Amino acid sequence: MNRYTVTFQGIEGSFSHQAVNKVFHSKVILLPEDTFGDAFYAISNGKAQYGVLPIDNSSTGPISEVYDLLYKYNLHIIGETYIQVEHHLLGLKDSSIDMIEEVYSHPQAIKQCKRFLKCYPKWRIIPYYDTAKSAKFIMEQNNPSLSAIGSMEAAKLYNLKILKRDIHDNSLNFTRFLVLSSDLNPIDNYDKISIILTPSNDSNALYNIMNILDRYNIRIIKLCTRPIVDYPFTYMFYMDLKTDMPIEKTQQVLEYIKNHCTNFRLLGIYDEDKTCQNKMKPPAK
């Protein structure tokens, strides 16, 4: 049986690695990369058949760099998964929280633990590659004044002690991960669509796009904008849509939308991950 190569940003013990295991059940060849851009490049040049990359966090919002890379690279979304992120303060076995002087972690993890970190203003907070690499770095430095923000899995993997549990600001802290591929493979039992578009210069273009979605009862569940670097003050819209229409009808509607755009790309037609929805509370009314 052929084994697929799957890339992700980070190393073993990272939350991205956990997402890979959840989707592929460890039956793959892992290709860890230092940056999101390296992972996108590995898929686009054929080094990896798939990639698993974070796109949004329930506490800190969109991961802008990944949205920009979706625009830059012609890759496709074939699935998604959610990971509940629980951050802990990690240190050496002979360390204690009173000994800490420096804290290392991925910038997203640091953002998600701002409230806890504010309680220790003397600590130096140092952005690092990812949570698991931070844990590994602490192990290698063998310095009890250094600590990392990471997962329980990273603590076990790199023989560290949990100095303080659950230091994340939000107890319902989830990250959404995309499963990416070079190929677009729409599935019959889909319920989610992701697109990128730039409306045409017609003053009614965006209105017409929204009107088409409303007419066919296609619900927008995610909408964000990002600047297009090569064209100042020009923006791309990223949309996640929900519908139960047959695939042929959906593709016809997308063609209608495309007619009102200067740039349009179908990122994916795939099945929504519903595995953790029962853990997420709806917004307060």
Domains of the chain in start order, with CATH, are: 5-85+173-184 (3.40.190.10), 88-164 (3.40.190.10), 192-270 (3.30.70.260)
Name the DSSP class of 6. E
Length of the chain: 285
Q: Angle at the Cα of 43 (from 37 to 45), degrees rounded to 5?
A: 100
pLDDT of residue 73 exceeding 80, the answer is: yes
Residue 109 contacts by C-beta under 8 Å, 6 or more apart in sequence?
87, 131, 149, 150
Question: Which range, of 43-57, 143-157, 265-279, averages the lowest pLDDT?
Answer: 265-279
Query: What confidence score (pLDDT) does residue 174 get?
Result: 93
Q: What are phi and psi of 204, to 5 degrees?
A: -100, 5
Model confidence, pTM: 0.89
Residues 6+ apart with CB under 8 A from 26: none
**Distance in Å from the first CA to the final CA of the chain:** 51
Q: Calculate Rg over the CA atoms of the chain.
A: 21
